[in-house]
Amino acid sequence: TYSGAIEKGALAFFGDKYGDTVRLVEIANGETFSFEVCGGTHVNQTGEVGAVYILGESSIGAGMRRIEAISGREAERLVWQNMQRDSRIADILQTAPSDIEERVIAISEQISSANNQIQQLERQMSALAATALLDEVQIVNEIKVLISVTEDPTVELLRSTGDWLRDKLGTGVVAIGSIVNGNPMVVCMITPDLVEKGMNAAHMVQEVAKIIGGGGGGRPESAQAGGKDSNKLREALSIVPGMISDLSGGE
């Protein structure tokens, strides 16, 4: 019985399910070094097992590993299913089953190259659009302010555009936004001279974020915010000139 086996010192492992009657497996060479309760199926000879397909292995204790496998007809069925799957994949990739790995690597490299080209084109388009934005600069209490909604598809490009515009202004505040993956994103950049006078980009984006239903933060000279309400992006950006006017005290 199971209880009797445990009393004799046989090992039973957590996770295995045992019935009332169990078999014991002992491995010894003069001295027993493995004595366990067997939770498997016994056969008279290994030929009855047939093919064995290892599904995986895992740890069941210190210094012990468990191999999980299927055998016989089930193993043959799984091998056949895998062959059929490989054949279908090969047809899709227009190659032989033996060349699937090489074909996948080649396609992956093509995709990576195409993505790099797309990113390069996006940067070029962003730079061209940023140049046109310089015409939208307004003056608020003698401070140059640029507020706009761009078509930048990523936060990285939006920040890059903001950095470029800030550098072009020389002195001023840039607050721009874009719809990224369906959500409104805003970045605010402030030149060092205005930061010294009390301007804070992090404070500005926090106020902007309230309108678009999100949150944000960053440093006094550079900050970003995200939200959920894309329809209120322009409204949110429109409050920036008023904040600048209040901070500059109408000087």
**Residues 171-180 as b or e (16 or more Cβ within 10 Å = b):** ebbbbbbbeb
List per-block mean pLDDT (blocks of 10 residues) for the chain, which spans 251 residues.
Answer: 76 67 78 76 82 90 84 93 95 95 96 92 81 88 93 90 91 95 95 93 95 94 95 95 82 46
Give the mean pLDDT of the chain: 88
d(CA 204, CA 181): 23
3-state SS assignment for residue 36: strand
Q: Which of 195, 197, 189, 190 is nearest to 249 (CA)?
A: 197
d(CA 220, CA 4): 74
Phi, psi of 51 (to 5 degrees): -65, 145
- All domains of the chain in start order, with CATH: 2-71 (no CATH), 76-121 (no CATH), 132-248 (3.10.310.40)
Query: Cα-atom radius of gyration of the chain, to the nearest Å?
Result: 34
Confidence (pLDDT) at 251: 46
Confidence (pLDDT) at 246: 86
Whole-model pTM: value is 0.57
Tokens at residue 217, please?
Answer: 């933060």
Phi, psi of 8 (to 5 degrees): -80, -5
Sorted by sequence, the CB contacts under 8 Å of residue 196 that are 6+ apart come out as: none
